[in-house]
Structures are given as C-alpha cells and as structure tokens.
Amino acid sequence: MTIRTDRDGAVWTLTLDRPDKANALTKAMLEELRVGVTGAAEAGARGLILTGAGRVFSAGMDLAEADTGLPTDPLWDALSDAVAAFSGVSVAALNGTVAGGALGMVLACDLRIAVLGTRLFYPVIGAGYLPQPADPPRLAALVGPARARRMLLLGERVELDDALTWGLVDRRADGDVVAAARNWIAPAIDSRPGLAEAIKARL
C-alpha cells in the first residue's frame, strides 16, 4: 500500500508512503487517498492530517502515467472535493516540497503547516497541462488572483517565507510536522462535538 492510515483517537493521518519516488501520485494512490478521506468522514473523525513520507510531500503526478489519461482524470478533483467536504478540521502537514497536482489536496485543507525548506509550485504551464478545475479558485481564495496567476501562468516556486506571507501556508513546524499539526488542531478536536464543524460552516 502506498497510502498509510494511522488513527489516533478522533484524528486520522493519511501518509503518502512512496518516498523512493518522491511520493509521486499514481491513479491508484489518488483513489486510496479518496477512500481514506471518505472513510475518515464516515467514521466520524474530527481531525484529518495529510502528510508524506521522507523529505518531500509529493512531486505531483507520476510521469510514468502521463500517457494514461491521469493528467485529466476526474479523480484529482474527487480527492480534493472529498478533503474540502470533510466536516472536521483538515490540515496538510507538509514534510517538504509539494508540486503540481498534489497541491490540490493541500489547497482543499482547512490549514497548512510546513517544515523549513518547503517549496510549493504548480508547473502546469511548463508541462503543457491545464490545472485541475477546482484548484485555481481555491488557490486564488488563499493568495489572491495576482499571486495565483504568478504560480499558474509562470510556474513560480514559492519559498516557505513567501508562502507564510501570502497565506498559502499558515504555520512553520520546527520539528515533527505531524506532531506539530496534531498539537495545533487540538483545541478544535477537544471542543464540544459539532462546534468546530458549525464554525466551519459559517466561514
């Protein structure tokens, strides 16, 4: 299995576990992630953490599947939509750089925390692909249309300091990013059942 699922009380952590390939995403991995996210929701999880094994969150699409229709597969949006629909608190715990289509699930999370050295970029313009439909509006909602254009039209790589300034990343982690994420969302997890979900619904 290339997606590892860990349960700690009401918090589920899904880990992209293909570090030898920089956690490059295959169609099977996208489906595993989607099933994991919906499984967490159906089980009543109150927290969801997405992270990667190794030093990179994800290099994006596995180029070995580029000719199989993966670049335009609706699974990308199905995954990010499942993350966005999660009623609890979702956080992307970025253990390193995130690129391309992998950014979609990160944008769909409620919160983002990253280790020093993390870069974020979406190089569709150079690869000759369109971004997934849901990604540009989510990106623009976080960083504004002008900065979204720089990332999508120019393929700009955003260093962590700029990502924090832009609002693309919310917080820096100086140690174990998953532990930092778990501690960070503890107030929401420990709150009265349904309260965090109700607050999210009003945002």
Q: Write out pLDDT tens, residues 24-56.
A: 999 999 999 999 999 999 999 999 999 999 999
Q: CB atoms < 10 A from the CB of 177, how many? A: 25
- Distance, in Å, from the CA atom of 81 to the CA atom of 56, rounded to the nearest integer, reads 23
Torsion of CA 106, 112, 114, 118, to 10 degrees: 40
DSSP structure string for 78-128: HHHHHHHH-SSEEEEEESSEEEGGGHHHHHHSSEEEEETT-EEE--HHHHT
Pair of tokens at residue 188: 């929401």
- Distance, in Å, from the CA atom of 172 to the CA atom of 175, rounded to the nearest integer, reads 9
Q: What is the pLDDT of residue 190?
A: 94
Q: What is the pLDDT of residue 127?
A: 87
pLDDT tens, residue by residue, 106-164: 999 999 999 999 999 999 888 888 999 999 999 999 999 999 999 999 999 999 999 99
Q: What is the pLDDT of residue 67?
A: 86
pLDDT tens, residue by residue, 61-79: 999 998 898 998 999 999 9
Contact (CB, 8 A) for 78 and 37: no
3.40.50.150, 3.20.20.10, 3.90.226.10, 3.40.50.300: CATH of 3-202:
3.90.226.10
Contact (CB, 8 A) for 104 and 136: no
